[in-house]
């Protein structure tokens, strides 16, 4: 248990980064009206948001491979510095074109942090990797819960919207010297050299006979779909509240907070229920089904009184760590090079981060509810893929030796 204690401060520092990342994901959408007034239109803001996906796409796969080679710490620090550049850069951007450069930087920052953080957490707590990585989601949700409330207060006080960017940059800046003092766990790769001694006693000696063209493709698809499902909601939920559910501005902003509380509740529920023996692969299917039904309800039954409840359920099922569960399943089925697997899985997610704002930015003219219909269809596709992953996971992992 000594290891558990020694990596706790490191994990807390890593989690704090993801609190700020939670803010970073929605800060442009939450300041949509102020930024649209400055840059031209809502479509311009959505274009800048889509650049986050481009940034992730540019470096995520490469940074995952390099993280396996050079270690986790340099990439976490690189991500933090680049994120600070994004927050401050948006404030000095005179046009959407300039802001796009900083949007790309935010995506790059997220990729660097993912490539270092996820493998570091899995290596810090190999026996409870699902819990360690899903807890990241708790901090992302906390950031996404507090930001709309903070921006609501700024609007009520008639204060400058830029304070939301300044506060996020300051938290990240304060965390840099703390993280620099931390030591990271060893990268413990799969020990192939033990094969000649016969069967090794370590569980990492057994390698699943996973097929890349089957399970690999399913995880790649799931990476895209799971990111697309909750990313679309996080960017459009406030606008949906005003335009479709006929809510006031502050009530519509609170939907994002209900959504975040839902995802936060799911993190702790997942951590509790996996300790009771419920397998993460079962939760993957259950959560994807619930998100399909709840997003479908938002689309078919737009209502100001129902929207907060459904926002909570969507947050719980689609944004409560289901993507992190998918990644843990993938690193179990393809255990060689956790950084590389993280890179592949989140690269497809970053394609969603680019394509979803671009598509929905154009769809907005034909009505916000059509965007919710698209999300329901994406979630349904996710449920189908999750069922295939469930069948294949059970088939491949049943050969794992018990210990």
pLDDT score of 59: 85
Residue whose structure tokens are 């393809």: 334
pLDDT score of 58: 86
For residues 373 and 375, give the distance between their C-alpha atoms in angstroms, rounded to a whole number: 5
* Assigned domain for 198 exists: no
* Assigned domain for 200 exists: no
Measure CA of the first residue to CA of the last residue in the chain; give whole Å.
19
SS3 161: coil
pLDDT score of 201: 40
For 49-71, how does the pLDDT look when each residue is reduced to its tens digit (9 = 90+)?
A: 989 888 888 887 788 888 888 88
For 176-188, how does the pLDDT look when each residue is reduced to its tens digit (9 = 90+)?
A: 999 999 888 877 5
Spell out the alpha helix ranges (H) of 40-193.
Answer: 42-70, 73-92, 96-124, 129-156, 163-180
Domain that includes residue 78, residue range: 8-183+207-397
* Assigned domain for 268 exists: yes
C-beta of residue 144 within 8 angstroms of C-beta of residue 234: yes
DSSP 8-state symbol, 31:
T
Query: Which range among 109-113, 197-201, 376-380 shows the weakest confidence by mean pLDDT?
Result: 197-201
Is a pLDDT exceeding 50 seen at residue 200? no
Is a pLDDT exceeding 70 seen at residue 129? yes
* Assigned domain for 402 exists: no
* Assigned domain for 196 exists: no
180-202 per-residue burial string, b: 16 or more CB within 10 A, e: under 16: eebebbebeeeeeeeeeeeeeee
C-beta of residue 89 within 8 angstroms of C-beta of residue 28: no
Residue whose structure tokens are 């609170």: 254
Longest CA–CA separation in the chain, Å: 71
* Assigned domain for 78 exists: yes
pLDDT score of 402: 58
* Mean pLDDT, residues 87-103: 95
* Mean pLDDT, residues 16-45: 91
pLDDT score of 378: 95
Tokens of 363: 């769809």
pLDDT score of 24: 94
For 265-296, how does the pLDDT look when each residue is reduced to its tens digit (9 = 90+)?
A: 988 898 888 888 888 899 999 999 999 999 99
* Mean pLDDT, residues 20-28: 93
Tokens of 39: 């840059």
Give the mean pLDDT of the chain: 85
C-beta of residue 319 within 8 angstroms of C-beta of residue 137: yes
For residues 283 and 276, give the distance between their C-alpha atoms in angstroms, rounded to a whole number: 13
More confident residue, 4 or 13: 13
Helix (H) or strand (E) holding 76: helix 73-92
pLDDT score of 205: 53
Question: How much is the pTM?
Answer: 0.76
For residues 146 and 293, give the distance between their C-alpha atoms in angstroms, rounded to a whole number: 27
Closest CA to 23 of 154, 153, 164, 158: 164
* Assigned domain for 188 exists: no
71-97 per-residue burial string, b: 16 or more CB within 10 A, e: under 16: bbbbbbbbbbebbbbbbbbbbebeebe
More confident residue, 344 or 173: 173
C-beta of residue 335 within 8 angstroms of C-beta of residue 207: yes
Is a pLDDT exceeding 50 seen at residue 208? yes
What's the CATH code of the domain at 149? 1.20.1250.20
Closest CA to 357 of 126, 28, 19: 28
* Mean pLDDT, residues 394-398: 82
Tokens of 256: 């994002």
For residues 285 and 379, give the distance between their C-alpha atoms in angstroms, rounded to a whole number: 11
Is a pLDDT exceeding 80 seen at residue 105? yes
* Assigned domain for 293 exists: yes
Closest CA to 24 of 114, 124, 115: 114
* Mean pLDDT, residues 330-353: 81
pLDDT score of 173: 96
Angle, alpha carbons 275-317-313 (nearest 5°): 120
What is the tally of structural domains in the chain? 1
């Amino acid at each position: 248990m000594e290891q558990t204690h020694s990596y706790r401060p490191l994990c807390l520092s890593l989690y704090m980064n993801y609190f700020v990342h939670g803010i970073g994901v929605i800060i442009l959408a939450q300041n949509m009206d102020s930024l649209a007034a400055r840059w031209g239109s809502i479509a311009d803001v959505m274009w800048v948001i889509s650049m986050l996906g481009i940034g992730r796409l540019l470096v995520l796969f490469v940074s995952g491979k390099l993280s396996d080679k050079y270690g986790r710490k340099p990439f976490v620090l690189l991500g933090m510095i680049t994120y600070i550049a994004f927050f401050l850069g948006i404030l000095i951007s005179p046009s959407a074109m300039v802001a796009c450069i900083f949007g790309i930087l935010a995506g790059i920052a997220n990729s660097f942090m993912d490539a270092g953080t996820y493998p570091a957490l899995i290596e810090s707590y190999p026996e409870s990797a699902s819990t360690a990585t899903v807890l990241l989601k708790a901090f992302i949700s906390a950031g996404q819960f507090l930001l709309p409330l903070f921006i609501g207060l700024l609007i009520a006080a008639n204060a400058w919207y830029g304070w939301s960017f300044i506060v996020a940059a300051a938290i990240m800046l304060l965390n840099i010297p703390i993280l620099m003092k931390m030591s990271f766990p060893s990268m413990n790769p799969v020990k192939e050299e033990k094969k000649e001694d016969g069967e090794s006693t370590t569980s990492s000696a057994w390698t699943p006979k996973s097929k890349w063209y089957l399970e690999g493709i399913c995880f790649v698809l799931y990476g895209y779909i799971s990111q697309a499902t909750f990313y679309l909601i996080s960017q459009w939920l406030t606008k949906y509240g005003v335009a479709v559910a006929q809510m006031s501005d502050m009530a519509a902003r609170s939907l994002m907070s209900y959504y975040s509380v839902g995802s936060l509740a799911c993190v702790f529920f997942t951590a509790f229920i996996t300790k009771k023996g419920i397998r993460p692969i079962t939760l993957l299917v259950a959560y994807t089904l619930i998100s399909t039904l709840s997003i479908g309800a938002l689309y078919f039954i737009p209502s100001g009184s129902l929207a907060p409840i459904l926002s909570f359920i969507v947050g719980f099922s689609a944004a409560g760590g289901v993507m992190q569960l998918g990644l843990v399943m993938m690193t179990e089925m393809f255990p060689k090079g956790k950084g590389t697997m993280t890179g592949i899985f989140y690269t497809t997610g970053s394609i969603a981060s680019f394509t979803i704002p671009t598509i929905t930015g154009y769809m907005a003219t034909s009505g916000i509810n059509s965007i919710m219909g698209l999300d329901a269809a994406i979630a349904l596709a996710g449920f189908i893929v999750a069922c295939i992953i469930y069948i294949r996971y059970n088939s491949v992992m049943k050969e794992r030796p018990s210990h």
